[in-house]
Structure 1
């Protein structure tokens, strides 16, 4: 499998051949032989639509079907909106229930109905079963590759089943009664070690870790990862086995959540395509630019309160960006760490005080260090010890407050069910700017006038 580090080389080769109007079929074939479907999806998303479609048409039908599944939502929507129906429909003919569930967000009802109509009866039933659950429930994310065997089955028959190729991430076989109620599980290796029916039944563990089908998917994913299991069974309210949540699905959900938070922290929609629709991209970002503008005017209003001071001591106006910048950078470093910790479930009430104490110490150390450096530079520049003292105290105070705000802002937003990745940076910038300007200009009024 090719490393992602080599993708830039292929991007250069494709652009060169396209600009030279050379046939790229041979190059696309070479790429397909060496690159995974996931990486080809990333490669395609690196080109404007015209060239992307040329590359897409050069891929085989099978490759198109596989790559279509692993594309980002917006990239898939962009492709579907550009291709003719007769080119889109073949992409939907071999989808199973799990894949269609993953793709349903970027498919309209007409395409979903077509995909469902091309499923076999079993996959159609499984898809409808998963659709009964909300997007944030485990049942919506379950897969149906678990091996379940009736309790009454004899050891010889069980061994025969297990001797066949088992689904990936199968450590245990689930044992159910005639009504499909989960009774227990038995490790696959214990089945082959057993020499009698009684030894086999004695090896069945009835104390099974399981997930409820209506359980929150985020909590369930954390539970699975923490237990260091490859999969956990999912049961309904009647304890009937409905499917399982496997480790790749749990990690994929976490990765999607973290990527969404990263995009939202910059005011982007989830999985925005590099060459997505210009007007849609502008609309998505304009909202947060507007919010940022409001907070900027708020900070400017506070500065205006010290207009007389600034007019008399011009040096304060020169140095104001330094105060704001140092506070903003310090806060951004902390808030990035805290948002990641919240997303991974590493932060709760029990360790909150320890985190605050640690960030307070970090802020104090960096605050003293850079306050000394900036104070010394200010003294050399303006030859004014009171001005140096003013900026020393302001830098120290703003970095400490920024470090604390970097913890408290996302924590408070999270408590109110507001995504800290979406709004945390805007709130943090407002807090550090206003505090920094008030301290800096307030001290300037006291010490320099």
Structure 2
């Protein structure tokens, strides 16, 4: 059984609890059985706001911050807005720098200012260091709470320092100079097994993957994919150790990117709450419905230009959805391929023409094959070879057009600094509808009347 199936059962169990007290007790049992903060966040997101806040309050205090951080932005805000003034101050005072970085974009400015006033001096210093980098640079998100040791000491001295700071078996230790220049990573297990007189620098990992703090989040995720260790050190231009990112960060980032693109296709945000206020959600979605209405009107106007031919040949009205659907599907395939490739930085000025030729070739082959099939079926269905020829031509034109614009639209949107996943599908659907209807009805008006 998958993790998500387990969560579904746990949500169902909580939803069917006899009363609020029983529900809280069941959640407490889940926590005792080792349910992690990420899973708890997903569970709480599945409940209306009042129930969500009550269940969050019932969690152990030490889990409050981490559960909120794991929540989507709108869900987190819904909990924070429900807190009393005392609860809010206590929560903000316990924030660490990474959580505040995660929260700040979704919180009102006054709450962020209050958090900066209440968090500890050490966390504030780390937060300020993170803000030396842009939001899309990995240095902004790197974990700076690393255990470091001087590069030139022995294993004996290293063990003494680890014992002095009461660390509980750190998995990896970062070697630096007095000026914090990065010199390598050592596994704690290797230190325990080494001779006590061995210089610690001899234990460092070879061929370690590093990432520059100014590089993008996608670069960091890619670096982790090729790393032998479950973490990647992040360094500045002069090799100063900034922090590190691990595989959990990579998975979280990939998930957020996937959800962002999935939701963007319908004009929504990955941080949207399942139980967001009705009026606010209506406004957000209404804008997207308005945009789609405009594109639908454009397609309808195209159809209206050929009202006479449609009224005389009823078969055209029956077959029009086929033309639009075939173009839409073909275009969506190309668009999806392009959006994924652009997200992975695989589309460049050097391969755009070759990529377009390839997609046009695919479109031409599929267009001809399906045009013959659909044209033959339509001709037999309506006992009219001319209808078969007409729809065949429209299918070929529309599928090739879909392939062409499936490549061009995301490239153009990217140049305009717009997200291809957000607007690409709407524009492409409009293009394929208009071109398909025009080709189909225009050809029919020429050859059938």
Q: TM-score, normalised by structure 1?
A: 0.86
Task: Kindly indicate whether the alpha-carbon contact (under 8 Å) linking 1:146 and 1:167 is maintained by their aligned counterparts in 2.
Answer: no
Q: State the alpha-carbon separation in 2 of the partners of residues 33 and 254 from structure 1.
A: 29
Q: State the alpha-carbon separation in 1 of the partners of residues 359 and 239 from structure 2.
A: 46
Task: Kindly indicate whether the alpha-carbon contact (under 8 Å) linking 1:263 and 1:271 is maintained by their aligned counterparts in 2.
Answer: no
Instruction: Give the 3 Å change call, closer, same or farther, for CA 176–60 of structure 1 in structure 2.
Output: closer
Q: State the alpha-carbon separation in 2 of the partners of residues 23 and 192 from structure 1.
A: 48
1:438 matched to 2:422? The reply is no
Instruction: Give the 3 Å change call, closer, same or farther, for CA 14–360 of structure 1 in structure 2.
Output: same
Q: State the alpha-carbon separation in 2 of the partners of residues 342 and 41 from structure 1.
A: 31
Give deviations 1:390-425, integer Å, cap 9, x for gaps. 112212332232233323322332233221011100
Q: CA RMSD in A?
A: 3.2
TM superposition shift of 1:358: 4.9
2:88 aligned residue: 88
Give deviations 1:225-267, integer Å, cap 9, x for gaps. 3445533333335543222233322332232223212211111
Task: Kindly indicate whether the alpha-carbon contact (under 8 Å) linking 1:258 and 1:343 is maintained by their aligned counterparts in 2.
Answer: no
2:280 aligned residue: 280
Within 5 A, what are the aligned runs for 1:419-438? Answer: 419-438=419-438
Q: 181-190 or 251-260, which moves further after superposition?
A: 181-190
Q: State the alpha-carbon separation in 2 of the partners of residues 389 and 401 from structure 1.
A: 18
Q: State the alpha-carbon separation in 2 of the partners of residues 200 and 272 from structure 1.
A: 49
SS of aligned partner of 1:105: coil
Q: State the alpha-carbon separation in 1 of the partners of residues 122 and 50 from structure 2.
A: 39
TM superposition shift of 1:159: 4.7
Within 5 A, what are the aligned runs for 1:28-47? Answer: 28-34=27-33, 35-47=35-47
Q: TM-score, normalised by structure 2?
A: 0.86
SS of aligned partner of 1:288: helix
Q: 83-92 or 70-79, which moves further after superposition?
A: 83-92
Within 5 A, what are the aligned runs for 1:137-286? Answer: 137-161=137-161, 165-168=168-171, 170=172, 173-185=173-185, 195=195, 200-201=200-201, 210-286=210-286
Give deviations 1:350-377, integer Å, cap 9, x for gaps. 5545644554454345434433443233
Q: State the alpha-carbon separation in 2 of the partners of residues 443 and 69 from structure 1.
A: 58
SS of aligned partner of 2:153: coil
TM superposition shift of 1:48: 2.2
Task: Kindly indicate whether the alpha-carbon contact (under 8 Å) linking 2:144 and 2:243 is maintained by their aligned counterparts in 1.
Answer: yes
1:340 aligned residue: 340
Task: Kindly indicate whether the alpha-carbon contact (under 8 Å) linking 1:130 and 1:141 is maintained by their aligned counterparts in 2.
Answer: yes
Task: Kindly indicate whether the alpha-carbon contact (under 8 Å) linking 2:390 and 2:440 is maintained by their aligned counterparts in 1.
Answer: yes
1:24 aligned residue: 23
TM superposition shift of 1:125: 1.4
Give deviations 1:294-325, integer Å, cap 9, x for gaps. 22222233333333332332322232122112
Instruction: Give the 3 Å change call, closer, same or farther, for CA 66–357 of structure 1 in structure 2.
Output: same
2:10 aligned residue: 10
Q: State the alpha-carbon separation in 1 of the partners of residues 284 and 170 from structure 2.
A: 41
Task: Kindly indicate whether the alpha-carbon contact (under 8 Å) linking 2:38 and 2:70 is maintained by their aligned counterparts in 1.
Answer: yes
Q: State the alpha-carbon separation in 2 of the partners of residues 96 and 7 from structure 1.
A: 28
Task: Kindly indicate whether the alpha-carbon contact (under 8 Å) linking 1:236 and 1:242 is maintained by their aligned counterparts in 2.
Answer: yes
1:51 matched to 2:48? The reply is no
Within 5 A, what are the aligned runs for 1:120-139? Answer: 120-139=120-139
SS of aligned partner of 2:105: helix
2:79 aligned residue: 79
Instruction: Give the 3 Å change call, closer, same or farther, for CA 51–247 of structure 1 in structure 2.
Output: closer
Q: State the alpha-carbon separation in 1 of the partners of residues 225 and 349 from structure 2.
A: 21
Q: State the alpha-carbon separation in 1 of the partners of residues 202 and 432 from structure 2.
A: 64
TM superposition shift of 1:4: 1.3
Task: Kindly indicate whether the alpha-carbon contact (under 8 Å) linking 1:68 and 1:91 is maintained by their aligned counterparts in 2.
Answer: no
TM superposition shift of 1:386: 0.4
Task: Kindly indicate whether the alpha-carbon contact (under 8 Å) linking 1:136 and 1:218 is maintained by their aligned counterparts in 2.
Answer: no
Give deviations 1:202-247, integer Å, cap 9, x for gaps. 6668987543333333334333434455333333355432222333
1:315 aligned residue: 315
